Amino acid sequence: MSERPRPHPAVYRAAEAALRDCDPEAKCERVLELARAWWADELEGTDAPAPQRMEVPGRPERPVLVHPKELPRRGLNTTAGRVALVHAVAHIEFNAINLALDAVYRFRDMPAPFVSDWLQVAAEEARHFRLLRARLLELGADYGDLAAHNGLWEAALATDHDVMVRMALVPRVLEARGLDVTPGMIQRLEAAGDTDTVALLEIIQREEVAHVAIGTHWFRELARARGLDPEPLFLDLLAEYMPGRVRPPFAHAARRAAGFTESEMAQLEAQAAPTSL
């Protein structure tokens, strides 16, 4: 990978600025402009400070962050229940913007195609967030009105030491979980008659497949560059960092489209199966 073109240093400074921006709309604007400037080769500057560990990325004061168990479960037969679901997905997408930016900002030994991939992801996550925030406004709410959890960024901190571990566990575990649960959300929303939210989730589901595929590609390339076999390595990393976090049901077709092999899916099913004495 070292023989590939190296990214322009200015991209790291711009990614950090977008990552640290606390205003959701301003962050989205920064991301879209950064992606445009990257592909147009318009970024200027000769240096950027070394990456720092970022305990708290740029985010607004609200939503208040709580433990996931403190978040109430609501049915989708009421507007309040649909607001809660859309808010939860919007929060995931907002965090996904920060995660994609952090991949660019932090892992500077990676080649230009890596930057291109994760800026594409950041731009698409920004678009997803805007779509969901607009839907919240249509439902009489806004992002930040409800509590949320910090699980995605906690995973970023747990993997900020190694790009290979990040690629294994954030796209291929946390984002892949979205592929698993979104079809069920769509079915429940269809039953509730909320076709507008269904249309948004269908867009997001299609594009998230590509995001997980990007993580799969880079994880495998990094593993092989280190002389490691990606499939057993993935299960080893899962057991080390996220034991018990991957549970069925699995969206087999979506995961296969995102690069999971049949062997990997069989192993995921096996590790999620209850053990008997």
Question: Does pLDDT of 193 surpass 80?
Answer: yes
The helix or strand, by DSSP H or E, that contains position 190, with its residue range, turns out to be helix 176-192
> Could you tell me the CA-to-CA distances from 178 to 173, 233, 254 in Å, in that order?
9, 22, 10
The residue behind tokens 């809660």 is 84
* Mean pLDDT calculated for residue range 16-21: 97
Provide, rounded to the nearest whole percent, the portion of the chain with pLDDT above 70: 96
**Greatest CA span in the chain, whole angstroms?**
62
pLDDT tens digits, residue range 139-186?
999 999 999 999 999 999 999 999 999 999 999 999 999 999 999 999
* Mean pLDDT calculated for residue range 3-10: 68
Q: Report the C-alpha gap between 185 and 83 in whole angstroms.
A: 13
Looking at residue 131, its pLDDT comes to 98
* Mean pLDDT calculated for residue range 72-96: 94
Task: Determine the number of helices (DSSP H) and then strands (DSSP E) in the chain.
Answer: 11, 0
Question: Does pLDDT of 125 surpass 50?
Answer: yes
pLDDT band at 2 (very low <50, low <70, confident <90, very high): very low
- Give 25-34's long-range contacts (Cβ < 8 A, gap of 24+): 25/130, 27/58, 27/97, 27/126, 28/97, 28/126, 28/127, 28/129, 28/130, 31/97, 31/101, 31/119, 31/122, 31/123, 31/125, 31/126, 32/123, 32/126, 34/119, 34/122
Looking at residue 265, its pLDDT comes to 94
* Mean pLDDT calculated for residue range 59-71: 92
Looking at residue 3, its pLDDT comes to 40
Q: Are 242 and 173 in contact (CB under 8 A)?
A: yes
